[in-house]
Amino acid sequence: MKIAFTTSEAYPFAKTGGLADVSNALPVALARRGHDVRIIMPRYYMVDRERYGLRVIGGPLGVPLGGGEKWAAVLESRHIPEVPVYFIEHDLYFGRDGLYDDGHSAYADNAERFIFFCRGALQALKDTGFVPDIIHCNDWQTGLIPVYHKTLYKEDRFFGGSATVMTVHNAGYQGVFPAEHYHLTQLDPGLFTDDGLAFFNQMNFLKGGLLYADAVTTVSRKYAAELGTPEFGYDLADVFQKVKDRFHGITNGVDYSKWNPESDPFIPARYSREKIDGKRACREALQQRMGIEIDPTAPLAGSISRVTYQKGMDVLADALRPLLADENLQFVLLGQGEEWILDRFRELKRLFPGRVGIFRGYDEGLSHLMEAGLDLYLMPSRYEPCGLNQMYSMRYGTIPIVRATGGLDDTVLEWDDKSLRGNGFKFAELTEKALYEKIRYAIRCFYTTRSWKKLQKNAMEFRYSWSDTAVEYEKMYEAVYAAAATRDEHGVPEKSRSRPDRAKGRRKPKP
Amino acid at 85: V
Q: For ligand GLC, which is the closer residue by CB, 270 or 306?
A: 306
Q: Does 219 bind ligand GLC (CB under 6 A)?
A: yes
Q: Which does 456 bind (CB under 5 to 8 A by kind): ligand GLC, ligand ADP, none?
A: none
What is the C-alpha to C-alpha distance for residues 270 and 282, in angstroms, rounded to an integer?
Answer: 9
DSSP alpha helix (H) spans, 243-338: 278-289, 313-326
Q: For ligand ADP, which is the closer residue by CB, 362 or 441?
A: 362
Please identify, among the stretches 100-108, 228-236, 380-388, 419-427, the one whose residues bind ligand GLC according to the rule CB under 6 A: 380-388
Nearest to 39 by CA among 29, 48, 255: 29
What is the C-alpha to C-alpha distance for residues 252 and 22, in angstroms, rounded to an integer?
Answer: 7
Q: For ligand GLC, which is the closer residue by CB, 219 or 435?
A: 219
How far is it between the farthest Cα atoms of the chain? 73
Amino acid at 401: I
Q: Does 18 bind ligand GLC (CB under 6 A)?
A: yes
| Smallest gap from residue 91 Cβ to ligand ADP (A) | 27
CB-neighbour burial class of residue 292 (10 A; exposed 0-12, middle 13-18, buried 19+): buried
Chain residues in the site for ligand ADP (CB under 6 A) = 17-19, 21, 304-306, 334-336, 362-364, 367, 386-389
Selected binder of ligand GLC within 169, 349, 382, 403 (CB under 6 A)? 169
Q: What is the length of the chain?
A: 511
Please identify, among the stretches 61-69, 321-329, 331-339, 385-393, the one whose residues bind ligand GLC according to the rule CB under 6 A: 385-393
Q: For ligand GLC, which is the closer residue by CB, 216 or 386?
A: 386
Count of residues touching ligand GLC (by CB under 6 A): 14
Please identify, among the stretches 15-23, 335-343, 365-373, 428-436, the one whose residues bind ligand GLC according to the rule CB under 6 A: 15-23
List, in sequence order, every beta strand (DSSP E) within 78-145.
85-89, 134-138
Nearest to 263 by CA among 252, 278, 253: 278
Q: Does 19 bind ligand GLC (CB under 6 A)?
A: yes
Q: For ligand ADP, which is the closer residue by CB, 18 or 64?
A: 18
Q: Which residues contact 265 (CB under 8 A, 6 or more apart)?
A: none
**By rule CB under 6 A, what string of x and - marks binding of each residue 393-432 to ligand GLC?**
--------------x-------------------------
**Minimal CB distance to ligand GLC: which residue?**
18
* DSSP notation for 322-333: HHHHHS--EEEE
Using DSSP's 3-state secondary structure scheme, residue 394 falls into helix
| Smallest gap from residue 355 Cβ to ligand GLC (A) | 29
Q: Which does 219 bind (CB under 5 to 8 A by kind): ligand ADP, ligand GLC, none?
A: ligand GLC
Using DSSP's 3-state secondary structure scheme, residue 293 falls into coil
Question: Alpha carbon of 62 to those of 120, 122, 141, 454: distances in Å?
Answer: 8, 11, 20, 59
| Smallest gap from residue 50 Cβ to ligand GLC (A) | 29
Using DSSP's 3-state secondary structure scheme, residue 121 falls into helix
Q: Does 226 bind ligand GLC (CB under 6 A)?
A: no
Please say whether the beta carbons of 308 and 295 come within 8 A: no
**Minimal CB distance to ligand ADP: which residue?**
18
Q: Rg of the Cα trace of the chain?
A: 24
Residues 49-108 that bind ligand GLC (CB under 6 A): none
Q: Which residues in this chain contact ligand GLC in the complex, by CB under 6 A?
A: 17-19, 22, 169-170, 219, 252, 384-388, 407
